[in-house]
Amino acid sequence: MTVLGYARVSTTDQNLDIQLAALRAAGAEVIRSEKQSGTSREGRTELKTVLDFLRKGDTLLVTRIDRLARSIGDLQDIVRAVKAKGASLKATEQPIDTSTAAGKAFLDMLGVFAEFETNLRKERQLEGIAKAKAAGVYKGRPVSIDDAKVSEVRRLKDNGLGASEIAKTIGIGRASVYRALKT
């Protein structure tokens, strides 16, 4: 029976030290950490590693459930994966212990509130962008390639180059190549 710790922050300028110290103090024997957004499980290789490593009787330890997921769907998927391994989930700062009925209920409630908070933040952000656009302050992301580069992209495509080669040759991203070819 191993206690596996998992710590996550969203951006590279945030610090993991407080989470790591709390996990160590709570008995985590192995700790994996990463700096990735919690809005999706994609790209979160350390979370995948921890979930793959869990065995029957192990405990996945986090400081708070929002370190695992920002949506109730992702949280439920993670909890199901933990349960399928015969392991349990505990949080150091919240009364969560999936080995008890009360802990499971509290986990579900917190998951709903975490998703609600994410949705509210997204709505406020969209409202702010709409207000800035109406005031003429926000004009969106600047165009990364001009008409001359669009012509160059098409010429290189006609010469048989692929998107990656075109992007490297011109010094732009592959997504910009695809956008230029659409116009």
Q: Do domains 3-115 and 147-182 have the same CATH topology?
A: no
Q: Give CB contacts under 8 A, 24+ apart, made by 158-162.
A: none
Strand, helix or coil for residue 8 = strand
- For helices 147-158 and 163-170, angle between their N-to-C axes, nearest 10 degrees: 140
Among candidate residues 10, 37, 71, 176, the one labeled active-site is 10
**Helix (H) and strand (E) counts for the chain?**
7, 4
DSSP-derived secondary structure letter, 66? G
The two tokens of residue 113 are 């509130």
Angle at 165 between CA 163 and CA 168, to 5 degrees: 105
Sketch the domain layout of the chain as residue ranges: 3-115, 147-182
**Residue range 147-182, CATH number:** 1.10.10
DSSP-derived secondary structure letter, 142? P
- Residue 144 annotated as catalytic: no
Which residue positions in the chain have pLDDT lower than 50?
Answer: none
Q: What's the pLDDT tens digit per position in 121-166?
A: 889 999 988 898 888 888 777 777 888 888 899 999 999 989 899 9
Angle at 119 between CA 11 and CA 100, to 5 degrees: 85
Confidence (pLDDT) at 65 = 84
Q: What is d(CA 109, CA 94) in angstroms, rounded to the nearest whole number?
A: 12
- CATH superfamily for 3-115 is Resolvase, N-terminal catalytic domain (3.40.50.1390)
pTM: 0.60
